Amino acid sequence: MDQADEALRRAMARALELARRGPAHGPNPRVGCVLLSADGRTLGEGWHRGAGTPHAEVMALDDARERGADVRGATAVVTLEPCDHTGRTGPCSRALIDAGVARVAIAVEDPNPVASGGAARLRDAGVDVLTGIAADEGRLVLGPWWHAVARGRPFVTLKLATSLDGRVAAADGSSRWITSQESRQDAHALRAEVDAIAVGAGTVQVDDPALTARDADGALAAHQPLRVVVGRRPVPPSARLRGEGGELVHVSTHDPREVLALLHEREVRHLLVEGGPTLAAAFLRAGVVDEVRAYVAPVLLGAGLPAVSDLGIESIDGALRLEPREVRRLGPDVLVVSRLGPPRTDHSTGPSGTAPLIRTASEEI
């Protein structure tokens, strides 16, 4: 590897580090940009701070100007393909062209058909474009946003908080608290990163959740996700969901795909499904769960409400097999983060191949 390639890879690593400073939530991706001179010096840096703010490339150009640096002939190292459309801000592809940048190195090509085309625009203007530099790391930083835009629906995380024998409540219905304070704090941190949280209408009736994101001191986090209630039962006027926190959205359906379509229209990129068991089963049977975060406490109940209702699985051969990605200790509990495989193309049957996908989506949702 020559010095130029090494400088390029170091700059991409720095751009990815900058991208991580951006918010995990919101309709826009995390993006970082580093401008390099011909001899490998950093001329400017930038990252995207969220919807409506300057994009990473424009921020890097502004940073270079503030430093008094000349970017003509420079290389722009960007974690995501520069956009080529005018939304809340102008197209980054044209900003780079107008600035006289000679080369652009890109980690990940933009899967969004509305914003993509920046690489082609740059090439047409005579700019040398390299793609696929640290692509895996780039997609990892983009996280749920990349999956949501590529698939045309929100990335879905199913959260479970259970006893060791898979119960979310005791026989008398009590459930506070099965998991530890450490697990609850981690779950609140997750809420502060997602765009929306969904629960079933039955859970609203029984548990009256607030669905807010709070810090370790119990104060409301700066970002509050949409609070989504799924099902035909009305939300009681006195429900805590009508109090402080994110906007309340009631989706009067039992079909997870209708929920995701509505949220996609609202530019929700990451949906956290929190319960109850019927809603969890409906999303699993519909084949739209991408990730499961299971908080498991060393508690045995022996009876009570299961974490997931009937999935229509009649034998072990039909079991949903997940791929563990992370196992972490949280106080006395264990967090297991797993991913499911790609969505099934046959949506007429459940995991066992015999049961309709939404059969368990009853009035309990």
Q: Residue 352 and residue 87: Cα distance in Å, rounded?
A: 45
Mean pLDDT score, 166-174: 85
- Contacts of range 185-188, beta carbons closer than 8 Å, 24 or more positions apart: 185/216, 186/295, 186/330, 186/335, 187/159, 187/161, 187/295, 188/213, 188/214, 188/215, 188/221
Shortest CA distance to 33 belongs to which of 84, 90, 93? Answer: 93
**What is the model's pLDDT at position 173?**
77
Q: Please check the confidence at residue 161 and state whether its pLDDT lies above 70.
A: yes
For residue 51, pLDDT over 90 is answered with no
Where do we find the tokens 């797993």?
338
Average pLDDT, the chain: 89
What is the structure's pLDDT at 356?
A: 32
Give the model's confidence band at 294: pLDDT under 50 very low, under 70 low, under 90 confident, else very high. Answer: very high
Catalytic residue among 45, 57, 274, 291: 57
Q: How far is CA 227 from CA 87, 205, 260, 271, 347, in A?
A: 27, 15, 14, 10, 27
Domains, the chain, ordered by start: 3-142 (3.40.140.10), 153-339 (3.40.430.10)
DSSP 261: H
pLDDT computed for residue 113 by the predictor = 76
What phi and psi, each to the nearest 5 degrees, are found at residue 277? -60, -35
pLDDT in tens, 305-360: 899 998 998 899 888 999 999 999 999 999 999 998 654 444 333 333 333 333 33
Q: Which of 34-48, 281-295, 336-350 has the lowest mean pLDDT?
A: 336-350
| CA dist., res. 185 & res. 214, Å (int) | 8
pLDDT tens readout for residues 82-134 = 998 777 777 899 999 999 999 999 999 999 877 678 999 999 999 999 999 99
User: Quick check: is 45 catalytic?
Assistant: no
The letter for the amino acid at 201 is A
Tell me the range of 2-16, 76-90, 126-140 where mean pLDDT is highest: 126-140
Are 81 and 108 in contact by the 8 Å Cβ rule? The answer is yes
Query: Which is it for the CA torsion 282, 283, 284, 286, positive or negative?
Result: positive
